[in-house]
Amino acid sequence: MSVSLGDEALIARALEHDEDAWRVLVERYSSYMYTIAVRGFGIGQEDAREVVQESFLKLFAGLPGYRDRGPGSFRAWLRQIVVNDCLAHLRRRRTEEPLDDTVMDPGQQERLERIERGYVLRQAVECLDDACRQVVALFFFEGRSYKNIAAVLEIPEGTVASRLARGLAKLRAEARDLS
């Protein structure tokens, strides 16, 4: 199954009991969901895996209802499922402490938005061709200079500059499409 299929196509196939489509959805979103639990809510690793499992069960059960709503942001719907499961998990763990579901503290909302931006950026970087991805990774993630990148990749500095420019243009377009 092609991993490049969009969420809507994967959902349609998953609803037709296509196990490969379901597997791709799980692979595409498990680290996103896990990150929400761990970084967004401070849930421990073991419990976060449990929350992700619960969320996938609810996701699978709720897919027909999602499709009935019409096309929309699957990731936003999924995020709400995970947020609700994280809150339920925390409520079970801290039964003596009241938990207000209606208001998230500003820091938590900011963490969730940062997780969302990180996910979109990672997905956009994965859409780049290998040559651009290498240059973008070396420049932005490792902080290397044009000259250093040129030496490492054994290409002219002008090629580094053009690949970086091409990569950034593609990243902007992909990030807009993924948002």
User: For position 112, which CATH number holds?
Assistant: 1.10.1740.10
Q: What is the per-residue pLDDT for 158?
A: 93
Least confident range of 1-15, 64-78, 141-155, 159-173: 64-78
Residues 89 and 107 in one domain: yes
| Average pLDDT in the chain | 84
Residue 102, pLDDT > 80, answer no
30 against 105, higher pLDDT = 30
Q: Provide the phi-psi class of 70: left if phi over 0, else alpha when psi is between -120 and 50, else beta.
A: left
Residues 73 and 144 in one domain: no
CA dihedral sign, ordered 130, 118, 83, 34: positive
User: For position 174, which CATH number holds?
Assistant: 1.10.10.10
Q: What is the per-residue pLDDT for 55?
A: 94
Residue 147, pLDDT > 90, answer yes
Number of domain units in the chain: 2
CA angle 123, 125, 130 (to 5 degrees): 130
Query: Could you give the CA distance from residue 111 to residue 97 in angstroms, rounded to a whole number?
Result: 22
Domain that holds residue 103: 1-126
The structure's pTM equals: 0.62
Among residues of the chain, what percentage have pLDDT more than 90? 40
Which residue from 11, 59, 10, 12 is spatially nearest to 33, judged by alpha carbons? 59
Which of 110, 126, 142 is where one domain is finished?
126
Among residues of the chain, what percentage have pLDDT more than 70? 87
Q: Which residue type sits at 126? A: E
Query: Could you give the CA distance from residue 36 to residue 43 in angstroms, rounded to a whole number?
Result: 9
Taking residues 64-92, report their average pLDDT.
83
Q: What is the per-residue pLDDT for 49?
A: 94
